[in-house]
Amino acid sequence: MKKFLQHLSFGLLSTILTATPGLGAERISFFYPPFGEFSLSVDSLETFAKEGKIDEDFSFYASRANRQQLAQLRDLLQQRFQITPTLVSQVTYSPIGEKVVQRLGELLLTESRKNGFYAIRAALILAAADREGLTVVNLLRKFPSDTIRLNFTEGLSIVDDLSQLLKKRDEVVAFIQKEATTQAANSNVDFSKQPDLRSPGKFSFQKISINLNDVSRNRRLPVDLYLPTAAPQDSQNAPSTRFPLVVISHGIASDRYAFDYLAQHIASYGFAVTVLEHPGSNAERFQLYFDGLAGPPDPSEFLNRPLDVKYVLDELQRLENVDPKIRGKLNFQQVGAIGHSFGGYTVLTLAGAKINFAQLRRDCNPNKSLNVSLFLQCEAIKLPPINYSLQDDRIKAVMAINPIDSSILGESGIKQIQLPVMLVAGSQDIFAPAVPEQIRPFTQLSHPNKYLALIENATHFSALAEPSRGNDVLPVPAGLLGPNRAAVYSYLNALSVAFLETHLLNRLEYRSYLQSSYGQYISQAPLNLSLLQSLNAEQLNQILK
């Protein structure tokens, strides 16, 4: 009985409520064999949310919680999600959205114990359209039956799997931090006496906006080119100098402004930086989609994104011969690529990684993972399973920030990369979890020049510039944004310069900045930075076992 009461603890209740905003109508009911039926009224939750009072019905569960857990639950119940019914409808009727709601429906059953897919979707739309807006309690009230039945066995399994994942993640993070500390102890570099790569470089630059149109694929590609001007005090950089080129690929529902801070910083060190927009998955496309004026992103985006980058490089090479503003100023023998999230996948394929259809079939039929990014990755299984040629030989080094790659590329895909690679991970990234999406792929990279930058407490959004009115299309709750992003900006500014100077320009004096000791030197709590150059699969598997 004691074990049973432990399973009925408030931790289970609050975890499920947090993971799935909406558990019933008038009552939340679940059957736990062999002890029988248990339930909780929505009125009890509403009273607790509005007044902070715990009635007799709720006291059975609340007595098993500490004060902090109760406060967290009340905050959740009171939170109003600023989401329009149109947006909810568009998302839940999309292929990915339907898969997510179907998965939730396995946990949240109707009164007749059927998958709650249709009831959940209806409740989400009705709650978003209600005057009170989308709240947990209002969502419960809109559920189209008197009782919603929680699949308790499935719930326990999900909670257990999630707790194990989080525990293992924390153990992996702790191990990497310890390894970084050990490696840093062997360094005798005094970084206080070296140039601070977090500060802007000496080059001024101009921003050139170009609108490209790939007629063959019907893709209009807005591009911003940050072009340095030679520093007068540097005799090695005459006005005719060709600058190494870096291309930046944004993530899904984002745009070319998400990394303008990084583009400007890199340009100040003498790199030409081109930042493009992917029209099939940018913020503008998602806004049209949410407004009901366009369909959801197509699986062909997995092919079109790297092809976008190839086309931009081709066009820049062509324009360099005819456009006086950039003629003779770009070095296509020294090209690097940086990408975030879906853009991280993009640059890894450009570096040589292949789409792994065998891995996709294993992971997506069915997708039972708690890895949110798999809902996107599994869309690629709809592509014809052929060997796509997405690599661009002009690219000599890549930096992938919060990339998604565990299934779409997998081990066999990642191993085909034969270029220097830096992977950047955030320990609190719930959309592209660090262990499967960045840390394990890091162990699979076969090139000797590889780097893992792990930022403790960083989320999937920590690297992004503050959103503007035009690109803030995804309603991300403040709690998922993480701590102040300034420290992450400084890390990426410094590490990108060190990585590109070392591996595009072969300036070995910058290699010291890629050591663990430099990561510790610039690290700022709570976003502590750990930088590693080595971690093997055996070490990782030992932790995970």
What are the residue ranges spanned by the domains of the chain? 2-150, 174-544
Most confident of 3-7, 8-12, 231-235: 231-235
- What's the per-residue H, E or C state across 336-367? EEEEECHHHHHHHHHCCCCCCHHHHHHHHCCC
pLDDT above 70: residue 114: yes
CA-to-CA distance for 447 and 419, rounded, in angstroms?
6
Comparing 39 with 502, the larger pLDDT belongs to 502
In the block, tokens 């030197």 appear at 521
Q: Give the pLDDT confidence of 364-375 residue by residue, as tens digits.
A: 988 888 788 998
- Which CATH topology does 174-544 take? Rossmann fold (3.40.50)
* Token pair listed for 39: 């339930």
Q: Which of 112-126, 169-183, 262-276, 488-502 has the lowest mean pLDDT?
A: 112-126
CA angle in degrees (0–180, nearest 5) for 388-389-393: 160
Q: Give the pLDDT confidence of 82-93 residue by residue, as tens digits.
A: 777 877 887 788
pLDDT at 23: 40
Q: Which of 107-116, 311-320, 499-508, 510-519 has the lowest mean pLDDT?
A: 107-116
The share of the chain scoring above pLDDT 70, in percent, equals: 88
Comparing 259 with 42, the larger pLDDT belongs to 259
Q: Which of 74-78, 151-155, 378-382 has the lowest mean pLDDT?
A: 151-155
The residue-averaged pLDDT of 49-56 equals: 87
pLDDT above 90: residue 460: yes
The share of the chain scoring above pLDDT 90, in percent, equals: 53
Mean pLDDT of the chain, nearest integer: 86
**Residues in contact with 521: Cβ distance below 8 Å, sequence separation at least 6, in sequence order:** 191
pLDDT above 70: residue 34: no
* 8 Å CB contact between 145 and 187: no
CB-CB neighbours of 387 under 10 Å: 8
In b/e form, how buried is each residue of 115-127, taking b as 16+ CB within 10 angstroms?
Answer: bbbebbbebbbbb
Q: Give the pLDDT confidence of 331-372 residue by residue, as tens digits.
A: 999 999 999 999 999 999 999 999 999 999 999 988 888 788
pLDDT at 138: 83
The residue-averaged pLDDT of 193-201 equals: 96
Closest alpha carbon to 312 in 282, 285, 350: 350
CA-to-CA distance for 405 and 437, rounded, in angstroms?
6
Q: Give the pLDDT confidence of 386-442 residue by residue, as tens digits.
A: 999 999 999 999 999 999 999 999 999 999 999 999 999 999 998 999 999 999 999
The residue-averaged pLDDT of 32-46 equals: 75
pLDDT at 42: 82
pLDDT above 80: residue 22: no
pLDDT above 50: residue 488: yes
Q: Which of 162-176, 192-206, 322-336 has the lowest mean pLDDT?
A: 162-176
The residue-averaged pLDDT of 132-154 equals: 81
Q: Which of 14-28, 125-139, 386-400 has the lowest mean pLDDT?
A: 14-28
